[in-house]
């Protein structure tokens, strides 16, 4: 009996399913009328001030780089050439967190923050986002939100990124762990009583990152002279059997108790605006674990002969915050006391701290503008004497938006900057507090089809802590001045669009605060519709660039970026992409680093870390609203 080969059957089934799927998506008959997803969001921070105004959930045509958080909130930056690897933002504000923390912040742009977004949707909503490319590049994101009842809702955000660059050929653990490997998960549930006098939001956040640590190429000059497969098979790296791990988890329960209100036996009111005051209680359990393991240490790197070793640090804390909110005329005032008890284990060292903070936040609504302010003071413990004082003026308008911010801060350096215990290096420092004074502002305006935004920032930083050489850290006591100006221009026509930005920076001391003087990013695209205007198509190209400067270099075993005082030239990659959207389904393809090989071979994302080679990538997003 004649039997079809398996691959023929599989190909037939795949083609049939794909044809059926797209025929339903593109079907314009009344049997498949499409209704856009009705989903809105608000965050828990709004509940403190009796406002739960919702914002519509973004369902617009998907930019390809939405899966890569760094391009959204950290540009310009340097990294290790792969998604989900340590990153250094080159234009960030110098605002360290006023709390006790270890200070391993090299993955911060990838990690979910503590804020919780609450989704409002009449039907269960699920967003699937999948990206895949050559060299085992993979990104999966899932967002699900559901209102179990009118007053009980649930949501989850999940993200998985991995990337295996094949430039590094002599890694002993290459088959055991991906080069970049990141997991993010965030759960939440929200509930309130019929009269809303009691409300609770609970959440759980889990982050984990594991990276093969290469230490960069041994010889950049050798790499630059290689072509094709020679680059893949002969790119020797400094670390041959080392990995770095970061794991975080946090469980939080926040409760709101609201006396008074407009509800009675006959009237049920769930508006937050009915209340004039509320009590607030938040409890958090936090854990953070950091490890660095080298099973084949090279004495030339560490400066000493070492056997295989593993460094580790673990921070465990429980935090309670008790607060009270009160309406005062046109304003709202929130005051709270925070107690944090922490245990820190660093190799064989154990330290315990009890921190006590006092915090005030407020908002005043004027006729067409608003003034907000916050103040936080460390009363006891590791952060005793630290403070943060900030005021912000906002003028929201449909055609013109203005924001002005003034900040003054004094903060203790992080724990790793004060005490670092490693098999390779140790230090015990008594650094003074870091002082920051800043004024910043922005104005954006919309004219016809254009949107123009102009930002300026100036700050004076005293006591900058910086890393230099492989095993030294220092504090620069004199004041360093930093200035930043950014201009962004967006243009939209029915079939053409652009998004171009320029950034200009100045640091008065490039040895302790190196920054590129000029940066730019650009996105040019065209749009049109097909299939009775049901299919929206976008074709474009984008690139980014920053000027030559003395770029810091990543040090794996300190988990920090160290000053090199060595010039680094960035060659801008070119991305060509095509996106399409029909109903709630988006699909895109991208030719990443398209000009690589045609315009030279020496592409780097940071000193001694090559940029990913030219490759084709696929991105799919599908919103499901049942």
Tokens of 24: 């339903």
Q: Are 124 and 626 in contact (CB under 8 A)?
A: yes
Tokens of 492: 């939209």
17, pLDDT greater than 80 = no
Residue 271, CA distances (Å) to 50, 151, 194, 274, 340 in order: 9, 12, 11, 6, 33
Categorize the per-residue pLDDT at 31 as very low, low, confident or very high, splitting at 50, 70 and 90: low
Residue 52 has a pLDDT of 74
- Nearest CA to 288 out of 201, 414, 376 is that of 414
Categorize the per-residue pLDDT at 348 as very low, low, confident or very high, splitting at 50, 70 and 90: confident
Determine the Cα–Cα distance for residues 575 and 562; give it in Å rounded to an integer: 30
pLDDT digits (tens, 9 = 90+) for 127-146: 999 998 877 788 999 999 98
Determine the Cα–Cα distance for residues 513 and 113; give it in Å rounded to an integer: 26
Determine the Cα–Cα distance for residues 259 and 370; give it in Å rounded to an integer: 26
Q: 44-48, 229-233, 367-371, 444-448: which range is least confident on average?
A: 229-233
Determine the Cα–Cα distance for residues 130 and 142; give it in Å rounded to an integer: 9
Average pLDDT on 97-107 reads: 89
Residue 32 has a pLDDT of 55
Residue 400 has a pLDDT of 87
Determine the Cα–Cα distance for residues 78 and 90; give it in Å rounded to an integer: 7
99, pLDDT greater than 80 = yes
Would 69 be classed as within a structural domain? yes
Determine the Cα–Cα distance for residues 375 and 360; give it in Å rounded to an integer: 5
Its pTM stands at: 0.89
Determine the Cα–Cα distance for residues 66 and 72; give it in Å rounded to an integer: 7
Q: Are 379 and 354 in contact (CB under 8 A)?
A: no
Categorize the per-residue pLDDT at 514 as very low, low, confident or very high, splitting at 50, 70 and 90: very high
Mean pLDDT of all residues belonging to the chain? 87
367, pLDDT greater than 50 = yes
Environment class of residue 2 by beta-carbon count within 10 Å: exposed (0-12), middle (13-18) or buried (19+)? exposed
**Vertex 295 angle, CA 289 and 300, to 5°:** 110
Determine the Cα–Cα distance for residues 109 and 91; give it in Å rounded to an integer: 13
Q: In this structure, what are the phi and psi dihedrals at residue 66, rounded to the nearest 5 degrees?
A: -60, -25
Tokens of 540: 């474009």
**Vertex 596 angle, CA 593 and 598, to 5°:** 135
Residue where the block lists tokens 């700050």: 459
Determine the Cα–Cα distance for residues 267 and 480; give it in Å rounded to an integer: 60
588, pLDDT greater than 70 = yes
Tokens of 102: 């270890």
Average pLDDT on 57-73 reads: 70
Residue 73, CA distances (Å) to 76, 88, 90 in order: 9, 12, 11
pLDDT digits (tens, 9 = 90+) for 528-575: 988 888 889 999 999 889 999 999 999 999 999 999 888 999 888 888
Strands, E, within 148-301: which ranges? 152-163, 180-192, 198-212, 242-257, 277-294
Determine the Cα–Cα distance for residues 503 and 456; give it in Å rounded to an integer: 10
Q: How many residues does the chain have?
A: 626
Q: Are 568 and 549 in contact (CB under 8 A)?
A: yes
User: Can you spell out the DSSP letters for 509-548?
Assistant: -TTTS---SEEEEEEEEEEEEETTTTEEEEEEEEEEEE--
Average pLDDT on 183-195 reads: 93
What are 392's strand-pairing partners?
372, 405
Dihedral sign computed on CA atoms, order 170, 173, 178, 180: negative
- Nearest CA to 109 out of 91, 136, 89 is that of 89
Q: Are 333 and 360 in contact (CB under 8 A)?
A: yes
Strands, E, within 116-197: which ranges? 117-121, 125-133, 137-147, 152-163, 180-192
Q: Are 616 and 590 in contact (CB under 8 A)?
A: yes
Average pLDDT on 147-152 reads: 88
Beta strand pairing status for 349-365 and 117-121?
Answer: unpaired
Categorize the per-residue pLDDT at 626 as very low, low, confident or very high, splitting at 50, 70 and 90: low
Other CB atoms within 10 Å distance of the CB of residue 221: 8
Tokens of 572: 């801008």
Residue 29 has a pLDDT of 53
Would 1 be classed as within a structural domain? no
Categorize the per-residue pLDDT at 507 as very low, low, confident or very high, splitting at 50, 70 and 90: very high
Q: Residue 214 — left, alpha, or beta (φ > 0 → left; ψ -120 to 50 → alpha)?
A: alpha
pLDDT digits (tens, 9 = 90+) for 210-220: 988 889 999 88
Average pLDDT on 19-45 reads: 63
User: HSE of 170 in the Cβ direction (CA atoms, 13 Å)?
Assistant: 13
% of the chain residues with pLDDT over 90:
54
Residue 58 has a pLDDT of 77
Tokens of 234: 């002969």
Range of the domain at 269: 6-625
Stretch (H or E) spanning 343: strand 331-346
Categorize the per-residue pLDDT at 160 as very low, low, confident or very high, splitting at 50, 70 and 90: very high
Would 25 be classed as within a structural domain? yes
pLDDT digits (tens, 9 = 90+) for 167-180: 777 887 766 667 88
Categorize the per-residue pLDDT at 120 as very low, low, confident or very high, splitting at 50, 70 and 90: confident
Tokens of 148: 């179990």
CATH code, 269: 2.40.170.20
% of the chain residues with pLDDT over 70:
91
598, pLDDT greater than 70 = yes
Categorize the per-residue pLDDT at 84 as very low, low, confident or very high, splitting at 50, 70 and 90: confident
User: HSE of 404 in the Cβ direction (CA atoms, 13 Å)?
Assistant: 5
107, pLDDT greater than 50 = yes
Average pLDDT on 242-255 reads: 95
Would 16 be classed as within a structural domain? yes
For residues 243-259, one letter each, b for 16 or more C-beta atoms within 10 angstroms of the residue's C-beta and e for the rest, the string is bbbbbbebbbebebebe
Average pLDDT on 484-499 reads: 92
459, pLDDT greater than 90 = yes
Residue 487 has a pLDDT of 96
Q: Quote the number of domains for the chain.
A: 1
Residue 15 has a pLDDT of 46
Determine the Cα–Cα distance for residues 169 and 608; give it in Å rounded to an integer: 15
* DSSP structural state of residue 291: E
Q: In whole angstroms, what separates CA 513 from the centre of its chain?
A: 22
Categorize the per-residue pLDDT at 18 as very low, low, confident or very high, splitting at 50, 70 and 90: very low
Determine the Cα–Cα distance for residues 555 and 106; give it in Å rounded to an integer: 11
Residue 174 has a pLDDT of 65
Would 201 be classed as within a structural domain? yes
Average pLDDT on 347-362 reads: 94
Q: Are 77 and 83 in contact (CB under 8 A)?
A: no
Q: Are 67 and 141 in contact (CB under 8 A)?
A: yes
pLDDT digits (tens, 9 = 90+) for 295-304: 999 998 888 8
């Amino acid at each position: 009996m004649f039997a079809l080969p398996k691959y023929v059957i599989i190909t037939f089934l795949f083609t049939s399913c794909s044809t059926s799927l797209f025929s339903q998506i593109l079907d314009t008959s009344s049997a498949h009328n499409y209704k856009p997803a009705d989903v809105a969001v608000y965050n828990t921070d709004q509940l403190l001030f009796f406002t739960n105004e919702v914002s519509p959930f973004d369902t617009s045509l998907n930019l390809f780089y939405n899966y890569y958080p760094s391009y959204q909130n950290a540009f310009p930056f340097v990294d290790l050439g792969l998604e989900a690897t340590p990153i250094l933002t080159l234009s960030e504000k110098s605002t360290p967190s006023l709390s006790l923390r270890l200070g391993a912040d090299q993955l911060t742009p990838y990690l979910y923050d503590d804020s919780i977004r609450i989704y409002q949707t009449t039907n269960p909503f699920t967003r699937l986002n999948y990206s895949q490319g050559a060299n085992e590049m993979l990104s999966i994101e899932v967002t699900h939100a559901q209102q179990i009842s009118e007053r009980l809702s649930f949501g989850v955000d999940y993200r998985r990124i991995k990337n295996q660059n094949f430039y590094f050929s002599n890694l002993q653990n290459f088959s055991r762990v991906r080069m970049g490997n990141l997991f993010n998960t965030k759960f939440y549930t929200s509930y309130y009583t019929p009269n809303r006098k009691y409300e609770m939001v609970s959440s759980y956040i889990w982050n984990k990152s594991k990276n093969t640590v290469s230490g960069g190429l041994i010889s950049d000059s050798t790499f630059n002279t290689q072509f094709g497969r020679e680059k893949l098979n002969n790119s020797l790296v400094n670390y041959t059997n080392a990995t770095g791990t970061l794991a975080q988890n946090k469980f939080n329960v926040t409760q709101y108790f609201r006396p008074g209100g407009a509800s009675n036996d006959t009237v049920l009111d769930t508006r937050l605006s009915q209340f004039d005051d509320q009590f607030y209680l938040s409890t958090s359990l936090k854990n953070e674990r950091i490890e660095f393991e080298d099973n084949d240490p090279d004495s030339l790197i560490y400066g000493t002969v070492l056997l295989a070793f593993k460094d580790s640090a673990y921070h465990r804390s429980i935090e309670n915050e008790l607060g009270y909110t009160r309406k005062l005329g046109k304003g709202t005032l929130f005051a709270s006391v925070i107690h944090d008890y922490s245990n820190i284990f660093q190799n064989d060292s154990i330290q315990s701290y009890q921190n006590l903070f006092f915090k005030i936040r407020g908002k005043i609504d004027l006729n067409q503008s608003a003034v907000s302010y916050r103040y936080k003071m460390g009363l006891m413990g590791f952060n005793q004497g630290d403070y943060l004082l900030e005021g912000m003026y906002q003028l929201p308008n449909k055609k013109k938006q203005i924001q002005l911010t003034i900040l003054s801060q004094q903060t203790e350096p992080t724990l790793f900057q004060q005490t670092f215990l490693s098999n390779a290096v140790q230090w015990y420092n008594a650094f003074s507090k870091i002082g920051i004074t800043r004024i910043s502002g922005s104005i954006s305006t919309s004219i016809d089809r254009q949107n123009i935004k102009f930002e300026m920032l100036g700050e004076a930083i005293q006591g900058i802590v910086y890393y230099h050489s492989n095993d030294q850290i220092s504090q620069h006591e004199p004041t360093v001045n930093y200035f930043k100006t950014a201009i962004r221009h967006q243009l939209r026509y029915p079939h053409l669009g652009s998004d171009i930005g320029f950034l200009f920076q100045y640091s008065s001391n490039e040895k302790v605060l190196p920054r590129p003087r000029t940066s730019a990013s650009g996105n040019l695209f065209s749009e049109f519709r097909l299939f009775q205007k049901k299919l929206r198509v976008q074709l474009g190209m984008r690139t980014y660039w920053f000027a030559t400067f003395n770029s810091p270099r990543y040090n794996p075993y300190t988990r920090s970026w160290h000053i090199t005082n060595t010039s680094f030239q960035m060659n801008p990659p070119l991305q060509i992409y095509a996106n399409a959207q029909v109903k709630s389904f988006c699909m895109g393809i991208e030719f990443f680093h398209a000009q690589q090989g045609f315009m030279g071979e020496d592409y780097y994302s940071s000193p001694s870390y090559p940029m990913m080679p030219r490759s084709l990538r696929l991105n799919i997003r599908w919103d499901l609203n049942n």
